[in-house]
A = this chain, B = another copy of it.
Amino acid sequence: MKEFCGTSEITGARFSIYPMSDRFVEIILSSLKEVDTSKVWMGTDDVSTCVRGRSEHVFDVVKTIFLNASKDGDHVVLNATFSNGCPGDSAGDTFMAEDSVLMNHELTKKISQEVATQFALYPLGIPGYMDVIMEQIKTVEQQGVFNGGVHYASRLDGDANKVFTALESAFEGARKSDSSHIVMTVTMSANSPTRKEGQ
């Protein structure tokens, strides 16, 4: 669908943080206060938050907000849809001029948080999308957090920083494919009281 596609390489994420707690408003607000969002465009409504900019900063900001929200031990879930190459996607383009230095790396590298994650890749516009998905599953398998497939998703378990690195490399790998529009959905759970049960 090249005729619909902008030339912008902007990446976006639409995401929400769900603290399973009566204190959810406080947890969300404080997680947003402790993140440096100076290199991304950000907008929030009553359903979700949207972050747009260079891919590395989008991942950096989403990861930081999730780690901030979960670091005190509350059961918190992140739901995010990452997107690159969405037709007509150009608002926020000025943020593409930012450099690559991650604004929250010093903060997040110190946070150790076990997470259970399910993700799915959707490379749009090409008949060979399953090949792109399989290739990126192989990429993720090399990162030490892959934990098999479930219906409609793949599972990643381990430290949140490592899981985010795996997610980002799958997304970036898929961007190099024939597909000009990559979507990736992520559900990431921290501090769940439910121990893992089999499917």
Interface residues of A (CB under 8 A from B): 1, 4, 12, 14, 16, 18-22, 24-25, 43-48, 50, 52, 75, 77, 79, 81, 83, 86-87, 89, 91, 116-118, 120, 122-130, 150-153, 155, 183, 185, 187, 189, 192-199
A183 to B183, alpha carbons, bound, how many Å?
Answer: 11
**Chain A binding surface SS class:** mixed
Asked if A125 and B122 sit within 8 Å, CB to CB, the answer is no
**Which residue of the partner chain, among B48, B152, B199, contacts A81 with CB atoms under 8 Å?**
B152
Q: Cβ of A79 and Cβ of B187 under 8 Å apart?
A: yes
**CA–CA, A19 to B24, complex, Å?**
10
Which chain B residue shows the least CB distance to A89? B151
Contact B16 A77 (CB under 8 A): yes
- A50's partner among B47, B197, B199 (CB-CB below 8 A) is B199
Q: Is the CB of A46 within 8 A of B151?
A: no
B152 near A14 (CB under 8 angstroms)?
A: yes
Q: Which of B48, B185, B189 contacts A46 (CB 8 A)?
A: B189
Which 7 residue pairs are nearest across A and B when measured between Cβ atoms? A18-B18, A20-B24, A46-B194, A14-B152, A79-B79, A46-B196, A43-B199
Contact partner, A130, options B1, B25, B91, Cβ 8 Å: B1
Q: Which residue of B lies closest to A13 (CB)?
A: B152
Contact B197 A46 (CB under 8 A): yes
- Nearest chain-B residue to A3 (Cβ)? B130
Q: Is the CB of B187 within 8 A of A1?
A: no
Across-interface contacts of A116 in B (CB, < 8 A): 46-47
The interface residues of chain B lying within 8 Å CB-to-CB of A87 are 130
- Min distance, Cβ A5 to any Cβ of chain B, angstroms: 9
4 more contacts with CB within 8 A, not counting A20-B21, A46-B192, A47-B118, are A43-B151, A46-B194, A81-B152, A86-B152
